[in-house]
Amino acid sequence: MNFHGKTILVTGGSRGIGRAIVLELAARGAQVAFTYRSQTEAALAVEQAARASGAEAQGYQADAADFEMAQAVVQQVLERFGALHGLVNNAGITRDKLLVMMKEDDWDAVLNANLKSVFNLSKAVVSTLLRRKQGGAILNISSISGVVGMAGQTNYSAAKAGMIGFTKALAKEVASRAITVNALALGLIETEMTEALGAEYRAKRLQEIPLGRFGTATEVARIAAFLLSDDARYITGQVIQADGGLAM
């Protein structure tokens, strides 16, 4: 999988899964742009790590849930790199609570960060890909929470399920233009978020995973790279579950 000459934009690329995807793509020759909200030092570290592999990389501080900011970022990427060939919608947050305890702001914040951001960036990038007339690839980082639902995550499950529906609908809209749109429905992946989980919760979840372990961000990044690559040009509208068998 060679990405030389291609530019990919990754939202939420300063840490965790987004960071791993940025570095994986850079290692495979891509020019990589990524967004981040507040962690400037982490973003600079990602830029340096990507450039160390010989790739061009640039972080953009922006809220992917803000429509105007999303449009501006895509324009800045085009001005910086000259073209865009792919998009990874990875930005997202959680605010887990039982519905009876959930505040309206908990709902709105999660839906905006996880789902509205997908609309914002996809709209801008698809318009660019259509004008370029050379195809492209969009990958949405969803969750098994959007496939089977998770108690305490009505907001997150709704957002991730919405992302899956968005993926399938957009795939049908742009397939004739050689643009693929797929989703990764992730299970429990070792990140800063899962490291914060209590030992009892982690042990319980591990018992439910047939493979007996959490996934790694590097494993996710390699799957993402494949789905964005020319090797996956005949795959579109699909939801690939990378969850160790948890939701089968």
Active site residues: 156
> Within a 10 A sphere around the Cβ of 91, how many other Cβ atoms?
26
Where is 185: in which H helix or E strand?
strand 179-186
**Residue whose C-alpha is closest to residue 86's, from 165, 33, 158:** 33
Hunting for tokens 């042990």 — which residue is that? 203
- CA dist 61 and 145 (Å) reads 28
DSSP character for 153? B
Task: Give the three-state DSSP class for 205.
Answer: helix
Which whole-number Å values give the CA distances from 144 to 215, 217, 226, 241, 245, in the listed order? 13, 16, 20, 7, 10
Q: Cβ–Cβ contacts within 10 Å for residue 247, how many?
A: 15
Phi, psi of 235 (to 5 degrees): -115, 120
How far is the C-alpha of 89 from the C-alpha of 11, rounded, in Å?
Answer: 5
Helices (DSSP H) in the chain: which residue ranges?
A: 16-27, 40-52, 67-81, 104-111, 117-132, 145-148, 154-174, 192-195, 199-208, 217-228
